[in-house]
Chain A
């Protein structure tokens, strides 16, 4: 196997052309692109091959790349995640798909005690250039064991990078950049986003993964979110604008390392912040964002920082209860109203 990386563009599309596609298709295009660019890249996970991926992300890739590079694994999360780590240690660039974040708990030892730790334990002798993709989030009536949003947990761990693509561009572009990173990168794909459709530039390609993105410019208040709650947050911002409340909307994109500067830059201008997070409130990434705002912009605040998080309950099955447990457009708007009503 050659060690050289083929970084040339895979296709030369018409400039300015756009294709209509789904988040799922954008992710698939990202995997295909990575497989074509670099022979060291391979995809491994449960049902990624013949089944086409539990969420159909890898549909068709087995036929294109063969079973050596599109590897169906047994239901052995710890073994195949660890196998990805080992293969990365000796020069491969594995993409490990864990079917859902819920199952990643079966591989947590490998992710925390090996992937995140080997470089340090060896005094910098090793790197683990591994990408782990997994579905996350609730909203599909899958009840208490298939609805977790644990990306904030993973963002607690030094040695990892944690990405939460919320747009077609990021679904298409984050994977290659993650594969070029010398350290383990976790990509969380919120299940409700897979069917999201829109126009993607035909020449869309790798994107940087170090910064948050301003998805909407307002100035009255800063809404901060990521991943699966981004569409709801943007919808809330549009409806608030019709009421005359114009919000900045920050998409964190990367939960570790957190782009503190982007958050503080906005909050210092708007003096108010509401954080929207599908994770449980206690010990969540929203708590971390809130703390950083308080540490870095306390004297600029005109209101306490507010949060819209999931209710602290294992996810119930019935739709009305699940809806009530999750951040919604209405609850985001209510928090903004309250925050704007506060005067420091």
Chain B
């Protein structure tokens, strides 16, 4: 089945930003891409095991959303969350160590690729049950509001979650109680191998939000500036006025996970979407605007490569938890305040 790549409408209207900020966004996307490319190698070398869901192609969303959130805003993520975690500022060392299952990992090695947590960064984890993070986000929003905290809870989920009952329960509850939840749908057009039009009778995600009286917007998820701009506007609205939904149209270039032969889509389709690759189109725009050249690009690449090398070394040198600690973290070891 072939789905034409849609021509995003927002490209022409995206805001201009400073060169410094534009380069920071580019760097953030490239950092995620290079990190995951290294993860693929490490997976092939059996250093990383379990499921590995790559974000490659979708980096503009994480890179655009995170600068639009405040440090005390909360984030609930999915099992395809390496990009979210890195863009949120969880140190790459801790993320890589988690992929290696080491104690120095951001979840003490207990979670792995699908369960990155950093409560200090208010990052409430990758959830690997599709749709299962939405009720959590609604509850965080409720708890924050009941404690008079002026925060936003950003909740990532994919188009697959839109078919889950929890999506509908949660949009209704968040709207009913006017909770400060920003629903962020990363619509990469496939729920694992099932194309969106084979799963949803109405593929317009914003229409579903409208059914619950939630204002929603479709955004070109391959355009980091559009993502950031839409998120800033939506987050401001959430903070003062209750839930909003953004649907980011995006595409995943790699397989669903490492075990996916990709029988459900054509190579041509993937190639068409590569024309929209944010790591091709955005640097091209920066070059055209005179904001990026080979020298600068090379410097950024080297910085990132060095950071990744250091993260791999850190993870390598990390320690495996002794088996004597197997049953830790089942119940709380210290009573919370």
- B207 contacts partner chain A, Cβ-Cβ < 8 Å: no
CB distance from A237 to the nearest CB of B (A): 34
Contact A82 B135 (CB under 8 A): yes
Contact A122 B169 (CB under 8 A): no
- A54 contacts partner chain B, Cβ-Cβ < 8 Å: no
Q: Which of A278-313 contact B (CB under 8 A)?
A: none
Contact B117 A83 (CB under 8 A): no
- Docked Cα-Cα span, A314 to B139, in Å, equals 35
Contact A124 B140 (CB under 8 A): no
Query: Which of A110, A125, A127, A129 counts the most B-chain CB atoms under 10 A from its CB?
Result: A125
CB distance from B256 to the nearest CB of A (A): 20
Contact B169 A78 (CB under 8 A): yes
- Which stretch, B7-15, B22-30, B49-57, B327-335, touches the partner chain A? B327-335
- B304 contacts partner chain A, Cβ-Cβ < 8 Å: no
- Docked Cα-Cα span, A25 to B129, in Å, equals 39
Given A79-B135, A80-B173, check contact A126 B119 (CB 8 Å): yes
Contact A121 B115 (CB under 8 A): yes
Please, which residues of chain B bring their CB within 8 A of the CB of A121?
Answer: 107, 110-111, 115, 117, 125
Taking a contact as CB atoms closer than 8 A, the residue among B107, B138, B143, B146 that contacts A125 in the complex is: B107
Contact A79 B146 (CB under 8 A): no
- Which stretch, A29-37, A85-93, A168-176, A328-336, touches the partner chain B? A85-93
Closest to A75 in B: B169
Please, which residues of chain A bring their CB within 8 A of the CB of B125?
Answer: 118, 121-122, 126
Closest to A42 in B: B146
Contact A86 B137 (CB under 8 A): yes
Contact A114 B74 (CB under 8 A): no
Closest to A79 in B: B169
- Docked Cα-Cα span, A94 to B140, in Å, equals 12
Please, which residues of chain B bring their CB within 8 A of the CB of A234?
Answer: none
- Docked Cα-Cα span, A208 to B335, in Å, equals 16
- B322 contacts partner chain A, Cβ-Cβ < 8 Å: no
Contact B169 A119 (CB under 8 A): no
Q: Chain A 40-72 against B: per-residue CB contact (8 Å), 1 yes, 0 no?
A: 001000000000000000000000000010000
Query: Count of chain A residues with Cβ under 8 Å from any Cβ of B?
Result: 42
Query: Which of B134, B138, B144, B335 counts the most A-chain CB atoms under 10 A from its CB?
Result: B138
Please, which residues of chain A bring their CB within 8 A of the CB of B328?
Answer: 124
Query: Count of chain B residues with Cβ under 8 Å from any Cβ of A?
Result: 49
- B323 contacts partner chain A, Cβ-Cβ < 8 Å: no
Q: Chain B 124-165 against A: per-residue CB contact (8 Å), 1 yes, 0 no?
A: 110101001011111111111011100001000000000001
- Docked Cα-Cα span, A199 to B37, in Å, equals 69
Closest to B140 in A: A86
Please, which residues of chain A bring their CB within 8 A of the CB of B336?
Answer: 127, 129, 182
Taking a contact as CB atoms closer than 8 A, the residue among B74, B117, B335 that contacts A90 in the complex is: B74
- A265 contacts partner chain B, Cβ-Cβ < 8 Å: no
Contact B124 A126 (CB under 8 A): yes
Query: Which of B119, B138, B146, B172 counts the most A-chain CB atoms under 10 A from its CB?
Result: B146
Taking a contact as CB atoms closer than 8 A, the residue among B118, B127, B173 that contacts A83 in the complex is: B173
- Docked Cα-Cα span, A295 to B140, in Å, equals 43
- Docked Cα-Cα span, A159 to B327, in Å, equals 10
CB distance from A7 to the nearest CB of B (A): 13
Contact B139 A120 (CB under 8 A): no
Q: Which of A245-262 contact B (CB under 8 A)?
A: none
Contact B172 A183 (CB under 8 A): no
Please, which residues of chain A bring their CB within 8 A of the CB of B108?
Answer: 122-125
List 9 tightest A-B contacts by C-beta distance, closest first: A82-B135, A86-B139, A123-B108, A87-B143, A79-B169, A83-B139, A76-B169, A122-B117, A182-B332
Chain B residues proximal to chain A, CB less than 8 Å: 74, 105-111, 115, 117-119, 124-125, 127, 129, 132, 134-144, 146-148, 153, 165-166, 169-170, 172-173, 176, 328-337
Chain A residues proximal to chain B, CB less than 8 Å: 1, 3, 42, 68, 73-74, 76, 78-92, 94, 109-110, 113-114, 118-127, 129, 158-159, 182-183
